[in-house]
Structure 1
Amino acid sequence: MSFRIVDLAETGSTNDWIADHPEDGLWVRADRQTAGRGRRARAWTSDIGNLFTSTFAAPQPGEGAAPQLSFVAANALLDTVARWVPRERLSLKWPNDLMLDGMKVAGILLEGHARGVIIGVGVNLAHFPEGTERPATSLAAAGIAPPSAREACGTLAEAFAAHRRRWREDGFAATRADWLAAAAGIGKPIVARLGNADLTGTFEGLAEDGALLLRLPDGALRPIHAGEVFTLGDQA
């Protein structure tokens, strides 16, 4: 599956730009965003030197449910950053964060579109935001010389195409296995925040559909399809 990249000096949001240009395999990268956002409409700090990019995925024969693209993108993001960072320092946090030394270094935002799915990615290459809900870092802060945002985007686009092909040909079970191999916190106590309610339990893994499996104190196994996850003592 081919791809192409459009480079912009500035845009409001790369997700908004790609929504107006819904072409499968098209990536847009901006040096700077003036209205970047993350999950739950949180503002995404957009310092020049970091990677801000989005792509569009139209449904293809053999592909699974659209939400599974979050795991496809996460696996591609892991492989991308692992080009410059030792893999043992990286881990994936459900549902869509990449961690470096236990701190957030990148995130993914999926948004629906009438013709498919928009996948936005932000990577802290040269800078990281201060005062975040949970600790963040960047490649530079971790002592790693960061690539240019353009180089990182090209690497990500290639990795995403490869993982999307694996998902299409081998099914979500293969994508799920790849994600679990790098998952943070399996077997450890966590808090799942569901709206205004918090559930405490043990992170048991992923269900066949990608839901987080939470073992509750009474022994029940509860699938979590949407929410945020914190290690105990880390929730705000």
Structure 2
Amino acid sequence: MLADTTAVESDWLVALRQEGGRGRHGRPWESIEGNFFGSTLIQLRPDDPPAPSLALAAGLALIEAVEVAAPNAQLALKWPNDLMLGDAKLAGILLERSGDRVVAGFGVNLAGAPQIPGRKTAALSPAQAIAPQVFAPLIAGKFSQVLALWRTADPSAFSQAWMARAHPIGTTLEVHSGPGERVSGSFDGIERDGAMRLKRKDGMIDIIRAGDVSLG
């Protein structure tokens, strides 16, 4: 449920407060005053790239928008859709598809970091903090630009652009794909459709299309 909502552009909705928010797998998402909660609707086209790779576009737009507010911050993308500040989560993206429409929801800790058991979280420093109403047009503009590139750029080139902003090849990872289902290995890049390549210790490559990733 959203509260105190305001339209930013014709295709964006921003909430200054959020009630009953949730993250991936239905996890609760705490609403802290001053943080950003926004969503936009994407109408998929027949000639679009594979829809799962839209997560890459959303991540690139997010990191570029946050860099405007915090140009010297140690930011990096973590597959599939988290923005890290150092080794802690600064922001997350939730994509939900229905037919040929995708809702992309963005949660960014501009002012405060929620407490999440078993996970490190972070917020921008007071010197870098930016009001949600000011951040909203930044993410809207960046997402519009990156979405256009996603639709027109070579998929391999687009994946490389995402890789340049992500944790490096060889980073130790653990993937949680379900209750009690975990696999460890190292990051080996991403596929054209946005899936992650996980290299096990025996050299075998797993193609990961869904799951939570923890940095080792």
Any conservation in 1 of the 2:55–2:194 contact (CA below 8 Å)?
no
Residues 1:96 and 2:51 are matched in the alignment? no
Any conservation in 1 of the 2:74–2:85 contact (CA below 8 Å)?
yes
Name the counterpart of 2:193: 209
Name the counterpart of 2:129: 146
Q: How many residues align?
A: 213
- Give the 3 Å change call, closer, same or farther, for CA 114–188 of structure 1 in structure 2: closer
Q: What is the identity percentage for the equivalent residue pairs of Structure 1 and Structure 2? A: 36
- Give the 3 Å change call, closer, same or farther, for CA 10–160 of structure 1 in structure 2: closer
CA distance in 2, matches of 1:174, 1:29: 31
Name the counterpart of 1:3: none
Residue aligned with 1:202, SS: strand
Q: Indicate the larger mover: 49-58 or 214-223.
A: 214-223
Residues 1:177 and 2:172 are matched in the alignment? no
CA distance in 1, matches of 2:29, 2:120: 14
CA distance in 1, matches of 2:183, 2:81: 19
Corresponding letter in the other structure for 2:44: P
Name the counterpart of 1:122: 107
Using the TM superposition, give the Cα deviation of residue 68 of structure 1 relative to its aligned residue in structure 2, in angstroms: 1.4
Corresponding letter in the other structure for 2:213: V
CA distance in 1, matches of 2:203, 2:127: 43
| Runs of at least 5 residues in structure 2 that lack an aligned partner in the other structure | none
Q: CA RMSD in A?
A: 2.2
Paired residues for 1:20-99 under 5 Å: 26-60=11-45, 62-86=47-71, 89-99=74-84
CA distance in 2, matches of 1:94, 1:27: 24
Using the TM superposition, give the Cα deviation of residue 66 of structure 1 relative to its aligned residue in structure 2, in angstroms: 1.6
1:74-115 CA deviation, whole Å, 9 max, x = no partner?
000000000022356100001100011221000000001234
CA distance in 2, matches of 1:25, 1:198: 41
Bigger relative contact order, structure 1 or 2 (CA pairs below 8 A, ≥6 apart): 2
1:3-33 CA deviation, whole Å, 9 max, x = no partner?
xxxx96159xx9xxxxxxxxx9610001001
- Give the 3 Å change call, closer, same or farther, for CA 115–212 of structure 1 in structure 2: closer
Normalised by the size of structure 1, how large is the TM-score?
Answer: 0.84
Name the counterpart of 2:4: 9
Using the TM superposition, give the Cα deviation of residue 190 of structure 1 relative to its aligned residue in structure 2, in angstroms: 1.5
Name the counterpart of 1:159: 142
Name the counterpart of 1:219: 203
